Amino acid sequence: MITSNQIHEKEFSLKIRGYNEAEVDAYLDQLAAYLDNLSKENKELRERLKSTTDQLTYMKNLESTLRDTLVTAQRSAEETTRSAKTRADEIVRDANLEAARIVAQANAEADAVRRQLGSLRQQTATYRQSFRMLLSSQMQLLDESGLGQERANEPAASPTMTRGATMQRIDLVQDAPAPRKIVPIPQEDE
């Protein structure tokens, strides 16, 4: 490749009937300037091409990195989703097992309470029956002894009683056993 300096330094030999030296020099100066411009433009284009190539390489590397990052993020998201689903399934399974255990325990406790209630009802019925029999036998003894009839036959205190007679009546009442009040036992529906 010819440079502009080579064009400027080029010397031609002189001959008779040769070219006009001034025209040749002017043309060579023009040609050298044009070649200088082309060289500068070529240099600038090479630099721009290098810069563009560097940018393209950077962009390709960036694209590759982004693609790898995207793939990694997608895998990570899938793994996280899979892991979360697995953990959620475990939590639901554990919760169902715990709920079943609690329900079974509550049912067992309810059955125990039902058995205890049945036993208490049976004991209550037995106690009532025994108490009724005792009460009946006591009433029969009382009727047979005639103790209850004595009071019924006693005369009521009259207003004309003397003070001594009233005091004697009070002493009799105090010495006598207190009458018992009989309270009916409520019946339970069975």
Q: What confidence tens digit (pLDDT) does each residue in 30-48 have?
A: 888 888 898 899 999 999 9
22 versus 176: the higher-pLDDT residue is: 22
| pLDDT at 174 exceeding the cut of 70 | no
**pLDDT at res. 6:** 77
| pLDDT at 149 exceeding the cut of 90 | no
**Phi/psi of residue 10, nearest 5 degrees:** -65, 130
Percent of the chain with pLDDT over 90: 51
What is the band of 71 on the pLDDT scale with cuts at 50, 70, 90?
A: very high
CB 157 within 8 A of CB 168: no
Average pLDDT of every residue of the chain? 82
**pLDDT at res. 26:** 84
Percent of the chain with pLDDT over 70: 76
Domain residue ranges in the chain: 4-131
In the chain, which residue ranges form alpha helices assigned H by DSSP? 4-9, 21-145, 147-153, 163-175
Residues 110 and 102: their CA atoms lie apart, in Å, by 12
Residues 68 and 35: their CA atoms lie apart, in Å, by 48
Q: Write down the pTM of the prediction.
A: 0.39
